[in-house]
């Protein structure tokens, strides 16, 4: 049973470009969560989605960031017009429900030149 798959593992973008991060949850999981981790820090919650719905986006920056989890296909975290401060590791987790343990992917390391 494959775990949470994130791609790409590493992504390099220039300032002003768009970054798209993908997350395929574990089989049977319909709840997806995105977190951001800066160096030497813990993970910071960004958004919690269920199929086609955003449950909690209280951790998402108000501008440039968006997330979706369509009926078919992976969840996408999209960052428009990236800036240097967006450089971080972005982790996706999935679960079978909002009160079940979260299983994490290995993250996407985003570097902004």
Partner 1 sequence: SQQGEEDPQALSIQEGENATMNCSYKTSINNLQWYRQNSGRGLVHLILIRSNEREKHSGRLRVTLDTSKKSSSLLITASRAADTASYFCATPEGPTDSWGKLQFGAGTQVVVTP
Nearer Cβ to partner 1, position 13 or 103? Answer: 103
55: left (phi over 0), alpha (psi -120 to 50) or beta: alpha
Cα–Cα dist 50/55, whole Å = 7
Residues 60, 61, 62, 64: what is their CA dihedral angle, to the nearest 10 degrees? -110
Q: Residue 90, CB half-sphere, CA atoms under 13 Å: how many?
A: 32
Q: How near is the Cβ of 15 to partner 1 at its closest, in Å?
A: 25
- The two structure tokens encoding residue 21: 């991060």
Nearer Cβ to partner 1, position 34 or 79? Answer: 34
Q: Which residues lie near partner 1 (CB under 8 A)?
A: 4, 31, 33, 35, 40-45, 48, 55-56, 58-59, 91, 93, 95, 98-107
Q: How near is the Cβ of 112 to partner 1 at its closest, in Å?
A: 19
Nearer Cβ to partner 1, position 9 or 15? Answer: 9
Q: How near is the Cβ of 16 to partner 1 at its closest, in Å?
A: 28
Q: How near is the Cβ of 84 to partner 1 at its closest, in Å?
A: 22
Nearer Cβ to partner 1, position 14 or 99? Answer: 99
Contacts of 62 (CB under 8 A, 6+ apart): none
């Amino acid at each position: 049973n494959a775990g949470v798959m994130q791609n790409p593992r590493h992504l390099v973008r220039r300032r002003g470009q768009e970054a798209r991060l993908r997350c395929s949850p574990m089989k049977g999981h319909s709840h997806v969560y995105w977190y951001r981790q800066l160096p030497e820090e813990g993970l910071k919650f960004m958004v919690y989605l269920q199929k086609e719905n955003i449950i909690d986006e209280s951790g998402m920056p108000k501008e440039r960031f968006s997330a979706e989890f369509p009926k078919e296909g992976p969840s996408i975290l999209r960052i428009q017009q990236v800036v240097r401060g967006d450089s971080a590791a972005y982790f996706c987790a999935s679960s079978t429900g909002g009160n079940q343990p979260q299983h994490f992917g290995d993250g996407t390391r985003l570097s902004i030149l």
